């Protein structure tokens, strides 16, 4: 069958979706991997797939997308990009945060199969998520690339420290505004303050380490999906190599000796490569995940630990790692994509539904609510905005800097000194 995999962050999801595509083609399917946001609609109307694989649908754009695909007869498979949470940690969250993890948007009517990581979170989804959805447990997707035996770099270079940041809310760009929190929620503000102060501490600590150890050690920095490199490039010493936003962690990690993170799955990825790691200024709300590496709060402590770490030897907390496998990730054996492909194949095999896909994505105004500032027809005194997501045009009063696209609901920001608009 003809399968389209639609992927989100290049640095996190694309590498996994490519592995999944490889496994699906072993079952005899024709598979393409495209960007969900920028190429999703064209992929459907040009390639006319029988099946699409998408990340967890959140936000109006993605919901509308799968709803239309379903109505044209396309089978919809969801592959969860994140592991979710163990039951003990999940129960400690308030209702709003629980819903955010389960999915704020009801995708149940459109999804044929959902692929998850571990059993425990799958049970939580079955008990409290959108139901009935057929689900299959596959294992730790994000860790599959670490089982591809690619050689690591020459050992005779300077000790290299990777700073993997984790503060996207400090850029105030909740990615594609899909969390769907109520406007009165204090959650965003809380997270913003946490990320802002952690980023300030990191910038200060990195510059101090470069000052004192720059002659002996090399420094690299990689941002988290959804985070920008701008502030780091402006404030950090030029001795720090800042990786481009899209750099996949499984590639960046292979060339470093020590990892500093702020409470991230990267600690487990580093462990699989025998790299010691430290959690500096933790921002991860999951109490289990935050304890995988030694937790460090001050610059002095960081300097002490980093200068005494042994490259080539993991320092993971084995008990926590075991707990993580049992309660969160599921199996870590490099075969999550292989299992996922098998489940997809079983789901779609022999179920060829004749699809009826139009040649052009229907042009319709879906979510137009801002009647004072946005106009669908050309209006005098207004500027034309072209949505970089769905490529439709609309007209906006000149003093407005930010709008929701009335066609696809993406939040679009006016680009400075340019006519075109950009995705926020």
Three-state SS sequence of the chain:
CEEEEEECCHHHHHHHHHHHHHHHHHCCCEEEEEEHHHHHHHHHHHHCCCEEEECCCCCHHHHHHHHHHHHCCCEEEEECCCCCCCHHHHHCCCHHHHHHHHCCCCCHHHCCEEEECCHHHHHHHHHHCCCCCCEEECCCHHHHHHHCCCCCCCCCCCEEEEEECCCHHHHCCCHHHCCCCCCCCCHHHHHHHHHHHHHHHHHHHHHHHHHHHCCCEEEEEECCCCCCCHHHHHHCCCCEEECCCCCCHHHHHHHCCEEEECCCCHHHHHHHCCCCEEEECCCCCCCCHHHCCCEECCHHHHHHHHHHCCCCCCCCCHHHHHHHHHHHHCCCCCCHHHHHHHHHHHHHCCCCCCCCCCCCCCCCCCCCCCCCCEECCCCCCCEEEECCCCCCEEEECCCCCEEECCCCCCEEEECCCCCCEEEC
Half-sphere exposure in the Cβ direction for 36 (13 Å, CA): 27
In angstroms, what is the minimal distance from the CB of 227 to Zn ion? Answer: 23
Q: What residues between 329 and 388 interact with Zn ion by CB under 5 A?
A: 387
> Shortest distance, CB of residue 408 to Zn ion, whole angstroms?
3
CB of 388 to Zn ion, least distance (A): 8
For the CB of residue 375, give the shortest distance to Zn ion in the complex, in Å. Answer: 15
- Over the window 69 to 108, marking each residue x when it contacts Zn ion by CB under 5 A and - when it does not, the resulting string is ----------------------------------------
Q: Which is nearer to Zn ion, 202 or 407 (CB)?
A: 407
Under rule CB under 5 A, residue 191 binds Zn ion: no
Identify which range of 144-152, 267-275, 389-397, 415-423 contacts Zn ion by CB under 5 A: 389-397
- Of 117-125, 133-141, 191-199, 390-398, which segment contacts Zn ion by CB under 5 A? 390-398
Identify the residue among 206, 257, 407, 421 touching Zn ion (CB under 5 A): 407
Tell me if 405 contacts Zn ion by CB under 5 A. yes
Cα 299 from Cα 351, distance rounded (Å): 59
Task: Please choose, out of 37-45, 121-129, 170-178, 404-412, the segment that lies near Zn ion by the rule CB under 5 A.
Answer: 404-412
Beta carbon of residue 41, minimum distance to Zn ion (angstroms, whole number): 10
Cα gap 276→192, rounded to integer Å: 29
- Say how many C-beta atoms besides its own lie within 10 A of residue 182's C-beta: 7
Binding residues for Zn ion, how many (CB under 5 A)?
6
Tell me whether residue 1 or residue 387 sits nearer to Zn ion (CB atom): 387
Nearer to Zn ion, 177 or 272 (CB): 177
Closest approach, Cβ 297 to Zn ion, in A, equals: 43
Range in contact with Zn ion (rule: CB under 5 A) among 29-37, 127-135, 340-348, 403-411: 403-411
Shortest Å distance, C-beta 147 to Zn ion: 39
CB of 360 to Zn ion, least distance (A): 15
What does the per-residue mask of binding to Zn ion show for 146-175, with x meaning CB under 5 A?
Answer: ------------------------------
Q: How far apart are CA 71 and CA 244, in angstroms?
A: 39
Q: Closest separation between CB of residue 62 and Zn ion, Å?
A: 12
Span of 120-128, 191-199, 373-381, 402-410 interacting with Zn ion by CB under 5 A: 402-410
Rg value, the chain, Cα: 22
CB of 77 to Zn ion, least distance (A): 25
Minimal distance in Å, beta carbon 133 to Zn ion? 28
* 408 sits near Zn ion (criterion: CB under 5 A): yes
If the CB atoms of residues 52 and 389 are measured against Zn ion, the closer one turns out to be 389
Q: Does 389 bind Zn ion (CB under 5 A)?
A: yes
Q: Which of 154, 378, 104, 167 is nearest to 256 (CA)?
A: 154
6 vs 85 by CB, closer to Zn ion: 6
- Could you give the C-alpha distances from 411 to 30, 51, 367, 387, in angstroms and in order? 34, 28, 12, 9
Position among 390, 396, 404, 421 found at the interface with Zn ion (CB under 5 A): 390
Interaction of residue 63 with Zn ion, rule CB under 5 A: no
Q: Does 176 bind Zn ion (CB under 5 A)?
A: no
Place of tokens 């580093």: 270
- Verify binding: residue 65, Zn ion, rule CB under 5 A: no
Return the number of the residue (140 or 410) whose C-beta is nearest Zn ion.
Answer: 410
Task: Decide whether 6 or 405 has the Cβ nearer to Zn ion.
Answer: 405
| Contact set with Zn ion (CB under 5 A) | 387, 389-390, 405, 407-408
């Amino acid at each position: 069958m003809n399968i389209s995999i639609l992927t989100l962050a290049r640095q996190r999801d694309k590498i996994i979706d490519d592995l999944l595509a490889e496994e699906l083609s072993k079952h005899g399917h024709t598979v393409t991997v495209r960007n969900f946001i920028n190429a999703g609609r064209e992929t459907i109307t040009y390639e006319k797939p029988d099946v699409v694989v998408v990340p967890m649908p959140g936000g109006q754009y993605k919901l509308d997308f799968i709803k239309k695909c379903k109505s044209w007869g396309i089978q919809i498979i969801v592959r969860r990009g994140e592991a979710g949470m163990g039951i003990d940690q999940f129960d400690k969250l308030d209702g709003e945060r629980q819903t955010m993890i389960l999915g704020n948007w009801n995708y149940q009517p459109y999804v044929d199969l959902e692929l998850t990581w571990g059993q425990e979170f799958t049970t939580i989804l079955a008990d409290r998520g959108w139901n009935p959805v057929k689900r299959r447990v596959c294992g730790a997707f994000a860790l599959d690339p670490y089982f591809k035996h690619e050689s690591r770099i020459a050992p005779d270079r300077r000790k290299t420290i990777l700073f993997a940041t984790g503060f996207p809310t400090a850029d105030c760009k909740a990615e594609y505004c899909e969390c769907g929190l109520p406007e009165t929620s204090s959650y965003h503000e809380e997270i913003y303050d946490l990320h802002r102060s952690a980023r300030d501490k990191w910038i200060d600590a990195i510059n101090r380490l470069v000052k004192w150890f720059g002659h002996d050690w090399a420094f690299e920095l990689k941002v988290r999906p959804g985070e920008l490199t701008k502030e780091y490039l402006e404030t950090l010493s030029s001795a720090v190599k800042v990786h481009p936003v899209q750099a996949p962690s499984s590639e960046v990690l292979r060339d470093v000796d020590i990892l500093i993170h702020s409470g991230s799955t990267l600690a487990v990825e580093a462990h699989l490569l025998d790299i010691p790691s430290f959690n500096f200024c933790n921002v991860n709300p999951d109490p289990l995940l935050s304890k995988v590496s030694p937790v460090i709060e001050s610059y002095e402590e960081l300097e002490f630990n980093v200068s005494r770490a042994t490259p080539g030897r993991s320092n993971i907390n084995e008990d926590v790692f075991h707990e993580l496998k049992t309660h969160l990730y599921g199996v870590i054996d490099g075969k999550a994509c292989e299992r996922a492909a098998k489940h997809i194949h079983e789901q779609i095999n022999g179920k060829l539904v004749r699809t009826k896909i139009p040649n052009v994505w229907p042009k319709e105004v879906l979510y137009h609510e801002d009647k004072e500032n946005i106009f669908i027809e050309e209006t005098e005194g207004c500027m034309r905005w072209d949505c970089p997501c769905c490529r439709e045009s609309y007209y906006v009063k000149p003093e407005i800097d930010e709008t929701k696209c009335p066609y696809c609901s993406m939040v679009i920001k006016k680009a400075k000194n340019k006519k075109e608009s950009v995705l926020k």
